[in-house]
Amino acid sequence: MKMHIPDFLGSFYVDLETMMYDWKGAFGGFIIERRKLTDEIDFITGRTADRYGDASFEGEISALHIEFTKKYSEEAIAKGASKTPIFYRGEYDPSKNMYLGQWTHKLDTPFEEVMDGDKVDFYLVMLDKERMKKQTIEI
């Protein structure tokens, strides 16, 4: 069996103050397309997988910032996933070596204006796939 290594891992249920997270919110992400928008920002598209199933995403990433919109598949929605797209926005924290931010369903409101009760914390860690490939085996 060949193992697919995700480009990033994260959790959409986490307390950013304590870094306590719930594994029910764990997800992996696979970047399918990545292209330069500017010298610092890349456009990304791909797929995520979590306890509900598959979702597609597209957005932007830089060394200091990430934001993307995720849309669940019909199969995932049937298992309880969100019917509406979800917007993620985070900043890179070098002390933790990860992106930390918040997500919301309120896409019709500028992110800065969304009330805190309508945002949920998340974290996202980019993986070093080349290093991991050297340490994995096929089973």
pLDDT (tens digit per residue) in 87-124: 999 999 998 888 988 888 887 777 787 877 787 777 78
| Bridging pattern class, strands 98-104 and 86-93 | antiparallel
What is the enclosing helix (H) or strand (E) of 36? strand 26-36
Query: Where does the pLDDT of residue 128 fall: very low under 50, low under 70, confident under 90, or very high at 90 and above?
Result: low
Mean pLDDT in residue range 83-90: 92
Residues 6+ apart with CB under 8 A from 47: 29, 30, 32, 54, 55, 56, 57
pLDDT at 47 over 70: yes
pLDDT at 1 over 60: no
pLDDT at 86 over 80: yes
- Cβ burial 47-69 (10 Å sphere, 16+ → b, else e): bbbbebbebbbebbbeeeebbbe
Global confidence as pTM: 0.82
Average pLDDT of the chain, as a whole number:
84
Query: What pLDDT sits at residue 43?
Result: 97
Tokens coding 138: 């096929």
